[in-house]
Structure 1
Amino acid sequence: MEPDGPAAPADTSDTEPGSTHVAKAERTLETRERILAAACEVIAEVGFEKIRMRMVAEHAGVSTALLHYHFENRERLFAEAMTHSFGQTGTELERDADTVPASVVLARILHNMLPTDPELRQDWRLWQELWVRALRDETAQQLAVDLYDQLHTWLAQAIRRGIESGEFHDCDVDATSTLLLALSDGFGIRLMLGDPRIDLPAAQAAIWRAVAGTLGVPETFPAI
């Protein structure tokens, strides 16, 4: 494992005379965001076991010392990169969620839980790295459980909204959310592997059919 580098002051731009606290905070946040985005890309490309802090620093266009200032070691960087990636997906899922049918919101969540585009395929590579680490590392295991809890919450909120509006039948929300999570994981892995027996439309259709009767909605996957 690459040894931790020495602590370093933040970007010199953060300490320019006359800079306001707000400007400093914005620059610090921008630097962290750039580092986290770079970490997601590098981890997805080479895997956590091969990653070195220097690789991320070079990809982000910052010094290794600055990277260590923000993230003390690979483990902290990996955990925050996962959370960052997850947060980006969560922001997208909130798009006009209050103005579209609950079935569309739920379909969007399911769409984003599958490797449906290059960015989501990158997210899936990160998930797969986390799964492997979680088998042997208690901290990674807890992170995975916490992230699954957030996914479960997103699904449950969409289902409850549909029930409250009368769009969905009343049902066991937790059981339905758990089923959707399990199906998304299973089909997602096969899509990542390029399994010729399954493609994205078939995966989405199968997942939706599994709960359509429970929710009382048509079996066709909604247009999102």
Structure 2
Amino acid sequence: MDEQRERILRAAAEVLAERGFDAGRLRDVATASGLSIGSLQHYFETRDALFREAFAWSIDDLIDRWRAAAVDAAGAWRRFELLVGALTSDPALVRRCATWTEFCASASRREELGEGVRRVHAEWRALISEIVEQGVRGGEFDPPLAADLAVGSLTALVDGCDMAVASGSGLTAERYAEVMLGTARVVLGVRA
């Protein structure tokens, strides 16, 4: 990807986290990126197109990092631990959580954003499902409930933790990881 385009998308993602989809302006992105509004419009015809692409870019970057973090682990539980580590040790955790929360809220008002939100959920569920299936097949997990319910519970827990981080409730990255791992041990029936 063109460096300038990525710079714009990164700045737009920051603006989305700070101001939201509806209140963010091209001027805010221009200031954050150090570029003119004309330069932004060279790459993106409209503010909405820029923000939609910034969200998609953020999603792709996040999903790539999630998948890379868990790919080489020896076992299912270790894959899950590495995934949670990648999720919670993100240096831009507050921005990521705020952007995700903002896009979920905006998607409830703007249908064109719904597909991106659904794609993130589908990717996250697929990744967790792969880990759960591996753990059940390998005897590491013995979920006390249906596997799809366990996956759904962990997916919902991520959303709840993301909202808590975004709102400034005091949920730290360390506590986020503890909550995810502790809950997963129970709902997946992790064997010692």
Question: Does the 8 Å CA contact 2:70/2:80 hold for their aligned counterparts?
Answer: no
- Correspondence 1:81 to 2:54: yes
Aligned to 1:47: 20
Q: 1:73 to 1:190 in 2, by over 3 A?
A: same
Q: Which runs of 5+ in 2 are unaligned?
A: none
2:118 pairs, out of 129, 136, 145, with 145
- Describe the shift of the 1:31–1:181 C-alpha distance in structure 2 as closer, same or farther (beyond 3 A): same
User: Conserved in 2, the CA contact under 8 Å of 1:105 and 1:158?
Assistant: yes
Identity of aligned residues (%): 28
Deviations 1:36-86 (A, max 9, x none): 111112222233333221331343233323322322212221121112112
Q: Which runs of 5 or more structure 1 residues have no equivalent in the other structure? A: 1-25, 220-224
Q: Which has the higher helix share?
A: 2
- How well do the aligned residues superpose, as a CA RMSD in angstroms? 2.7
The CA distance in 1 between the partners of 2:12 and 2:46, in whole Å, is 12
Structure 2: which amino acid aligns with 1:178?
G
* Equivalence for 2:163: 189
Counterparts of 1:193 and 1:44, CA distance in 2:
11
Corresponding residue for residue 45 of structure 2: 72
Distance 2:91 2:70 in 1: 23
**TM-score of the aligned structures, taking structure 2 as reference length:** 0.81
Partner Cα distance (1:42, 1:191) in 2: 17
SS in 2 for 1:159: helix
Residue by residue over 1:90-135, the C-alpha shift from the partner in whole angstroms, topping out at 9 and shown as x without a partner, is 2222136224432122123334445x55412111111121122112
The alignment status of 1:124 with 2:90, answered yes or no, reads no
What secondary structure does 2:99 align onto? Answer: helix
Q: Are the counterparts in 2 of residues 113 and 184 from structure 1 also a CA contact under 8 Å?
A: no
Q: Whole-Å Cα distance in 2 between the matches of residues 96 and 175 of structure 1? A: 22
Q: Relative to 1, partners in 2 of residues 1:47 and 1:215: Cα closer, same or farther, differing over 3 Å? A: closer
| Number of matched pairs | 190
Q: Which amino acid aligns with 1:103?
A: W
**Larger RCO: 1 or 2 (CA < 8 Å, sep 6+):** 2
1:213 Cα deviation from its structure 2 partner: 3.9
Query: What is the distance in 1 between the residues matched to 2:176 and 2:55?
Result: 25
Which amino acid counterpart does residue 71 of structure 1 have in structure 2?
Answer: F
2:142 aligned counterpart, secondary structure: coil
